[in-house]
Amino acid sequence: MHKDVEIFVDKQRGQEFLEKLEKKPFLFSLVISYTNTCTIPGITVAGKTPEVLPYTSPADAEFLNFGYCKCINAIPMTPDGKPTPALLTKTALESASIPNIIINAGSKIQPQLPCFETGLSHGRNIALEPAMSLDDVTHAVEYGRMIGRSLGSTTDCLVIGESIPGGTTTAQAVLTSLGINGMVSSSMQENPLSLKQKIASDAAKRIDSTNEFDVVANCGDPMIPTVAGILSTASAQTKVILAGGTQMAAALAFGKITGYHRDNVALATTSYIIDDKSANLIEMVSQIDTIPVFSVKLALGRSKIDGLKAFANGFVKEGVGAGGASLAAMLKIGIDSEKLLVLAEQQYSETISQ
């Protein structure tokens, strides 16, 4: 087993999963989206000011592919200048020559690059109104299934990441409404859990249904049903790694109704999410299904750069599929977290010198 990877929930199946993927080809997909929920004060630090929040996801997609952003003249940063986790994802994918594809599932701003286009609208603010219509949820699942069928046929393992500011809040609301007890993670060092839980419980009171489609329409976001659709068809053909924490748990929970091939599915995230004392991802996933959960130990705590070290100290922690992308690189070429750190520091220096 790789020294920088720890397996939770189903260790034996996790071990077999990893062994089958050593030195195999991977494909990384990034689902970008938006929810007006992120405009609630105190929910997220995924952008310097509220005005730039709609640019976060397309900017992540552009940064992943170009090394700079086209839709906005900056790299996505927290208010005090910590970089997007897309920097970690880009470093990992490039180290192992893993291709990536972008899926636009309701981004408010169009990314300036080729991508799968779902035609979905962005999600509405769940504190004020339902997130989307039932038709939107069905549309997202159907388009996701088509995309998953295409992508799953091309690779030994499809890694699915996401970028949606405010997405942990909608994920919390979906998980709460589906009866899954859990504390979700946050992009912030001080996790605004009580705020998220209040939004989640208030939104859940709007409907008395526990039907998954009703729940996601009421208090989810377009990313969740899109990822579930991709997962359903891709996992019928190949291995799939859900790259992320809470938000991928919500997609997995919704995926129980849309279906997936369980033996081909795992979740991977950074150890910073697993070690987050204010959240309990392992317990949450265990309530949904007994799939392997991989904790990827990155060496960012040893970085000379404060912006990278911050990931290890509780800021951002994960996003843009950083944990899953790092795992894919480790499996494909045997790179370790120390070498990935060196490459991430080089990438950081190149980025801020633009």
12's CB contacts (< 8 A; 6+ apart) are none
Structurally, at CATH architecture level, domain 5-352 sits in 3-Layer(aba) Sandwich (3.40)
Distances (CA, A) of 166 to 65, 169, 217, 347: 23, 6, 16, 26
Can you count the helices (H) and strands (E) in the chain?
Answer: 14, 8
Q: Which amino acid is at 63?
A: F
In whole angstroms, give the CA distance from residue 279 to residue 185: 5
Q: Closest Cα to residue 52, out of 78, 82, 80?
A: 78
- Please state the domain extents for the chain: 5-352
In whole angstroms, give the CA distance from residue 240 to residue 17: 10
Asked if 239 and 20 touch (Cβ cutoff 8 Å), the reply is: yes
Q: What is the pLDDT of residue 45?
A: 67
Distances (CA, A) of 124 to 38, 39, 111, 165, 347: 10, 10, 20, 13, 35
Q: What is the pLDDT of residue 59?
A: 96
Task: Check residue 78 and give left, alpha or beta (phi > 0: left; psi -120 to 50: alpha).
Answer: beta
- Residue-level pLDDT, tens digit, the chain, 354 residues: 589 999 999 999 999 999 999 999 999 999 999 999 999 988 876 666 788 899 999 999 999 999 999 999 877 666 676 889 999 999 999 999 999 999 999 999 999 999 999 999 999 999 999 999 999 999 999 999 999 999 999 999 999 999 999 999 999 999 999 999 876 565 656 656 788 888 988 998 999 898 999 999 999 999 999 999 999 999 999 999 999 999 999 999 999 999 999 999 999 999 999 998 777 999 999 999 999 999 999 999 999 999 999 999 988 789 999 999 999 999 999 999 999 999 999 999 888 877
Q: Closest Cα to residue 43, out of 218, 306, 221?
A: 221
DSSP string spanning 138-177? HHHHHHHHHHHHHHHTT-SEEEEEEE-TTHHHHHHHHHHH
Q: Closest Cα to residue 116, out of 267, 234, 254, 246?
A: 234
